[in-house]
Amino acid sequence: MAQPSPAHYTRGAIEVWDFIRDQDLNYHLGNAIKYICRAGFKGDNTKTQDLKKAIHYLENELLHSSQPDDDGRTVPLSVYVDDWEGPKRRSESFDR
């Protein structure tokens, strides 16, 4: 039997994972949304940590995503972001 979702994921009218599925978000974007939605609601002093986790997943999305350029070649999205330096803490691990 499934356990009920924690309160920090069920604050609104729709559960976070239902929203992620409804929007057909990939792993990186889904996790970014999850951490943004729960930022500051999981417990004491978690907002900053959750926002850093969201940034981590967004940076990974930029690093691993691509789109065609004007000539039809695939170019990483990170090329299109001004002043983006890539993930700053590649080895940083988070307690997910």
Per-residue pLDDT reduced to its tens digit, 53-93: 999 999 888 887 776 667 777 666 655 555 556 555 544 55
Task: Report yes or no on 96 lying in a domain.
Answer: no
Hey, which bits of the chain come out as E strands? Answer: 66-68, 74-76
Domain span holding position 48: 7-80
pLDDT attached to residue 56: 94
Average pLDDT score over residue span 7-28: 86
Task: Report yes or no on 93 lying in a domain.
Answer: no
**pTM for the full predicted model:** 0.66
What is the tally of structural domains in the chain? Answer: 1
Integer Cα distance of 6 and 10 in angstroms: 7
Task: Report yes or no on 60 lying in a domain.
Answer: yes
Q: What is the rounded radius of gyration, in angstroms, for the C-alpha atoms of the chain?
A: 16
DSSP 91: T
Task: Report yes or no on 90 lying in a domain.
Answer: no
Task: Report yes or no on 62 lying in a domain.
Answer: yes
| Share above pLDDT 90 across residues of the chain, in percent, rounded to a whole number | 35
Average pLDDT score over residue span 6-10: 67
